[in-house]
Homo-oligomer: A and B are copies of this chain.
């Protein structure tokens, strides 16, 4: 090796990290290879030394974005006493700063419909990421229910949070957007607290 052992790998990681933000900000279809590379401080020519295709980078960046989303949620739970963790995760997800910073926010909220149009393999990776988010929520639900029922409820709860955040972002009126976040919070609590159908 003539160059530092992991110099190229560091570049790759930088490209993926910046792309994870850019894709959330602008959407998957709206961003070109030149933009993605210049975000990482390079020119487009180096792209194919790192990735097989644009789609290859998109898949890696989506995975990275979801990981960052989960790490962010987990970060918000540190130092929160167990009995307040459920409300903490809901409030963290629906706080105004999350609504206003799409690029660093939940990848599913920023991109779910576009991801639904991608190939099976990329959707599979994304779905595992959604599962890891549901895994953050599941232990915070009230006790009861079968494993399946708890898992399904955690997914539905996440879907509800995601939908509320998306609509809060789409409203042009600030007061309506706040109401959307507050309503989303109430809805999340209602889902969590409803009776389990099985013991």
When all copies of this chain in the complex are counted, the total is: 2
Minimum C-beta distance from A160 to chain B (A)? 4
CA distance A187 to B162 in the complex (A): 13
| A side interface size, CB within 8 A | 55
> Across the interface, do B27 and A171 meet the contact criterion of CB distance under 8 Å?
no
Q: Which of B108, B117, B124, B160 contacts A160 (CB 8 A)?
A: B160
CA distance A158 to B194 in the complex (A): 18
Which A residues between 134 and 174 are near B, CB-CB below 8 angstroms? 152-153, 155-164, 166-167, 169-173
Residues of B contacting A179 in the complex (Cβ-Cβ under 8 angstroms): 152, 155
> Across the interface, do B160 and A164 meet the contact criterion of CB distance under 8 Å?
yes
Residues of B contacting A158 in the complex (Cβ-Cβ under 8 angstroms): 163, 167
Q: Which of B108, B115, B155, B186 contacts A156 (CB 8 A)?
A: B186
Quick one: closest B residue to A110, CB to CB? Answer: B113
Residues of B contacting A187 in the complex (Cβ-Cβ under 8 angstroms): 153, 156-157, 159-160, 187, 191
Residues of B contacting A27 in the complex (Cβ-Cβ under 8 angstroms): 27, 29, 113-114, 117
Interface flags, A11-28, vs B, CB<8A=1, else 0: 000000000000000110
Q: Could you list some 20 contacts between A and B, CB below 8 A?
A: A27-B27, A27-B113, A27-B114, A29-B30, A30-B117, A102-B116, A108-B170, A112-B167, A112-B169, A112-B170, A127-B171, A127-B172, A152-B180, A153-B186, A153-B187, A155-B179, A159-B166, A160-B163, A163-B163, A194-B194
